[in-house]
Amino acid sequence: MKKPVLEKVLPGFGSSFTIKKYEGHHRCRTEFWHFHPEYEIVYITNGSGKRHVGNHISHYQEGDLIFLGPNLPHLSFTDDLLEAHTEVVVQMREDFLGLDLWKKPEFALIRQLFERARQGLSFYGRIKKELGQQLMSLNELPSFERVIALLNILQRLATASEYELLQARGFALETNAQDRQRIASIYTYVEAHFQQSITLEAVANEISMTVPAFCRYFKKMTGRTFTQFVNEYRVAHASRLLAEGAESISSICFEAGFNNFSHFNKQFKNITGKSPTAYRKALKRLVVND
């Protein structure tokens, strides 16, 4: 992966938006780090993995339901998902029913939803399961009923309280192709080396910059330091390991790329709000309650 790929989204004949459904262990999509001008709803039935949207990195479990605004570069959400699952992807342009429609007072909440989606939204709880089932059955509906069903889904998303704002930056809108390529190269390097020690000299060399220039550039582009970004990536990986097995927390610390246990605990709590031990206990309580 060298740069975010512009994904061309073409609705099928007789439809104003696109629905894709993937089943099994692997995604069918070839693009990895990509962006597109369409809004995108993604529902994943089960399993856990990473969300990497713009400069946001986090971990999901028990499937996911997210809504992304246009031109937010993101990675495929199931590339590291090993268990069998179903994924539904709905993509639509803002004007897929005409821009004037959203100006009507009846659609004010959906208009606000679209604005929030520009930073990325992740939904959880009951609404995730409820709307997930509706998304999975969209393709089975006749074209008119399909549009009505999508509008109902958008309205439910617009009125839901069970969501978190990912705070992803839409830098694809703000930067040129060279900047997007540089950011993608940095992300690729971190993905390949996060379990090892990463020096500023090595990553700066990847994009042919001096260390001071690279540090200034990365902070300007992402709103965070490179060290913060790497720590977030490592904590997201550790979160998945904590969720998926009984491996000791000390082993997870080193497998996630941290070489100091106290530093790992501090960074994990700073980023997730919980210590690794508390995070694992909270996951166990969720499983029991379900």
5-165 matches 175-289 in fold: no
Q: In terms of CATH architecture, what is 5-165? A: Sandwich (2.60)
Tokens of 51: 């969300």
Q: For tokens 């089932």, what's the residue?
A: 133
Q: What is the dihedral of CA 160, 166, 170, 172, to 10 degrees?
A: -110
Phi, then psi, of 68 in degrees rounded to 5: -115, 140
Give dist(CA 210, CA 200) in Å, integer: 9
Q: pTM value?
A: 0.69
Low-confidence ranges of the chain (pLDDT < 50): 1-3, 13-14, 27-31, 172-173, 287-290
Handedness of CA 192, 195, 197, 198 (dihedral sign): positive
Give dist(CA 134, CA 206) in Å, integer: 44
Tens-digit pLDDT profile for residues 24-77? 655 444 445 677 889 999 999 988 777 888 778 888 888 899 999 988 878 777
β-bridge partners, 22: 87
Q: Are 90 and 134 in contact (CB under 8 A)?
A: no
Q: What is the pLDDT of residue 8?
A: 54
Task: Write down the domain spans for the chain.
Answer: 5-165, 175-289
54 to each of 10, 16, 130, 161, 171, how far by Cα in Å?
23, 27, 27, 23, 7
Closest to 150 (Cα-Cα) out of 49, 222, 229, 43: 43
Give dist(CA 73, CA 36) in Å, integer: 8
Q: What is the pLDDT of residue 13?
A: 44
CATH homologous superfamily, domain 175-289: Homeodomain-like (1.10.10.60)
SS3 287: helix
Q: What is the pLDDT of residue 262?
A: 95
